Amino acid sequence: MNVVLERVKQGPGAAIHFVKDRLKKPEQSEVDRLAAGQGALLMMNGKKLAVYKDEAGTLHAMSPVCRHWACIVDWNPAEKTWDCPCHGSRYDAMGHVIHGPAKKDLQHEAIEG
C-alpha cells in the first residue's frame, strides 16, 4: 500500500495509472495472433507480460513493469517502443531504455516456446 501512497504524492495521474494498469486486462491472450515486428501485453503462463515478436518470429518476453515508478508500459505500434504512461520512460522493442527517467531495462522473462 505504501507504493500507492508514493504515487499519490507524485500526482493523481501517476496514482491512477498505477492502479488502473494493474486492473486492465491484457490486449490479447493468444500469442499466435501477434504479428512479426509487433508487441502486445499478453497473458502467458498466468502472468501479464510485454511480448515482442521479432521479424524472424522469435518471441521476446519482458515484465511490463516500468523500472522507474512501476507503472505498466504500453506498446507504441508507430514507434515500435514500450512507453510508460506515468513519467514518459521509453524502451525499445527488446526492453532497453531509450529515454528516461528509467535507468534500467525492462526485466526479461523466460517463456516456454
Distance CA 28, CA 40 (A): 8
**pLDDT for position 111:** 85
User: Per residue in 20-48, pLDDT tens?
Assistant: 554 555 444 577 789 999 999 999 888 99
Lowest-confidence region among 26-35, 85-94, 97-106? 26-35
Give me the domain span that covers residue 30. Answer: 2-109
The Cα angle at residue 74 between residues 71 and 77, in degrees rounded to 5: 160
What φ, ψ does residue 20 adopt, rounded to 5°?
-60, -40
Q: Is the CB of residue 89 less than 8 Å from the CB of residue 81?
A: no
Length reported for the chain? 113
Looking up residue 25, the CATH number of its domain turns out to be: 2.102.10.10
**pLDDT for position 69:** 84
Mean per-residue pLDDT of the chain: 83
pLDDT band at 90 (very low <50, low <70, confident <90, very high): very high
**pLDDT for position 1:** 47
pTM, rounded to two decimals: 0.74
Distance CA 113, CA 111 (A): 6
Distance CA 75, CA 28 (A): 12
Which three three-digit cell numbers place residue 1? 500500500
Comparing CA positions, the residue from 79, 57, 77, 73 lying closest to residue 105 is: 73
How many domains is the chain built from? 1
> Above 80 in pLDDT, residue 109?
yes
Q: Is the CB of residue 36 less than 8 Å from the CB of residue 54?
A: yes
